[in-house]
Structure 1
Amino acid sequence: PPKLAPAKEFKTTTEGVSSVYPIRIRPNSKAYRYDVDIIRHGQRDVPLTKGSVDDGERSLNRRLCCDLLITMYSKTRGFGTQGNLDYVYDGRKNLYTNMLINFPPGKKSAVIKPGEMNDFCKKYLFNSEVEIFLQESESFELDLTDFMPSLAIDVDKQANRDLRTFLELLTSQHAVNSQEYASVGVGKLFENNPEKFIPSANGIVIRTGIAKGVRIIENNRNPCPALVVDGKFEIY
């Protein structure tokens, strides 16, 4: 059935306080999106970027993929850019860069051998080598200053999430790379330092963190991306 238009008769306006931080983007800024496939070679090839029904395996694979991509970045000298490229990565299929990857024609993959991996990857990949493939996505070039596709003006159409997905990754990348926070689920970051855990009964601890997301808001009557942040506690 067709979607119903939002109710108008019960619309009210309420004043309040929220943790919303507008994001300022420089004019003409762009990002480039690549699809990532990471394959562990062995008696049976295993795709690490493929989704899993098990939360633990999914979290482990995401950590492995992030570490392996860091190794690939170093090995290929910034994906062929001599270290001038910056990127954000979700640990699965989506990689965004601030400039074009500069690999030789037809060569957008790299083999990572066990001797090139960190100890964590060697341990959980059982000293297997992996191959990483990068391919331009169907929606390759993302204009970071065009907010209109992110707005669902027509209730029958779904807003494009590409810009919001990129900004959500961007606002998490430093925290995750610093290893001070762990990314858990969608848009949640929790403290990694055990000294900041709050002890509870039966070996359970409470970890502090944040739940965050990106929204398109109105700022001076113009659409504007904004970071929305809420404090969060979770039991482990």
Structure 2
Amino acid sequence: MNPHDAFRAEVEENIDGLAGDADLQALSRVWIREATPYKWTYNFSWFGRPAIQLPNDAWALQELVWSIRPDLIIETGIAHGGSLIYSASLLALLDLCDATEQGEMLDPRKPKRKVLGIDIDIRSHNREAIEAHPLFPRIEMIEGSSITSETISKVKDIASGYKRILVCLDSNHTHDHVLAELEAYAPLVTPGSYCIVFDTLVEDMPERLSADRPWGPGNSPKSAVHAFLKSNASFEIDSRIDKKLLITVAPDGFLKRIA
């Protein structure tokens, strides 16, 4: 076995161990439970914009983007725009790698890959900051509910021009809303790519942590994921991702399209 394969095999053994350590997995949930009241995810930004994500989840997305090499990432939920900027930077690096491999010059004014963000309310100060960012040429935004027929139609029209698509769902976290998003956007995911459903962790947290929200245990992204999978055999949960991350807001939320 060559050194690269040997290292990969060691990593897989490590993940097997993490997945089988119920105490450690539970301890990770306890850590998130205790950090959540302090809004720990607010502490991080990417290229100047607040991202409001756990760093581990951002790292996992980077690994998926490199392996899948999507030319379009669709994101529901924009907030301050940090996630859009993060995804745009990853796609910019993919374009740079492609250009280098092919011996071509990269024109940043004509990006091949793009991020499409959807939000029911893009606040003016956030829109201005996103539009002023150097990576904005890679970003397109739609303001409107992600589950209306009008918005879904716009997204499908844009997606029709791309070959490899990855989807991230991170807007309203109620069961019905996330299930409607899954039914609308999961079919756009190309085989081998992923639909990532964030904040499935809501299902595993105490009700008090979502007392001021319309969602909570039993009415969460995770309950929507499980309902979706009952009638959609084209996707399966890639549980090895959240098991290796330990600290993640998306347990059972990394859905791989297998057909």
Task: Indicate the structure with greater helix content.
Answer: 2
Which entry has the higher C-alpha Rg, 1 or 2? Answer: 1
Considering the TM-score relative to the shorter chain, is it more than 0.5? no
TM-score category by the smaller chain? under 0.3
Task: Indicate the structure with greater strand content.
Answer: 1
TM-score by length of 2: 0.22
